Structure 1
Amino acid sequence: MSFIAIFGILIVLWGVLTYNKLVMLRGRIDNSWAQIDVQLKRRFNLIPNLVSSVKGYTKHEKKTLEEVTASRTKYLSAKTPEEKLGANSELTG
């Protein structure tokens, strides 16, 4: 009879310990997901800043590319050495 009682107590104790461990693991999972959410929000909040930075450089780069293309076209269409020298001067600044 005492063997059955001890076995029953051990089963209940094992059940309580297992339940507590599962609750603890669930808490760790929730905490991990919260940390992932924080990092993703931080990452997505950086995107508008990156886009605005790229837009600023795009305007400058477009102007530069147009100037280089115009200078190249002038150089390729130049017939005399003076015209080629002038086109080269535009390109080098």
Structure 2
Amino acid sequence: MAERVAAVAAAHPAVARLDAGEFGALATYLPGRRLVGVRIGEAGEPVELGVVLHLDRPIPEVAQVLRRQVAPLCGAVPVNITVTDVVTDDRR
């Protein structure tokens, strides 16, 4: 599930990259690697998504769209979106 959530989030045009946050806690450990930007906790815990956004769209709007796009992948648990940073350059 973490890889599917990461793929959907990273595909959004306002997302510059996924990010593990200041302390690196927004990550999921998979066999042989660490997937940053998505934290899948124990059953019933919220899915947490950490993103760096391009500052060309309203942040609350992007967070709402991301939540709506990844929620069907997560079952009945809430999805928390953390915007860890923004980038203002036009390079993509």
**TM-score category, normalised to shorter length:** under 0.3
TM-score, structure 2 normalization: 0.22
Q: Which protein, 1 or 2, shows the higher relative CO under an 8 Å CA cutoff with sep ≥ 6?
A: 2
Structure whose residues are more often helix by fraction = 1
Of structures 1 and 2, the larger Rg is shown by 1
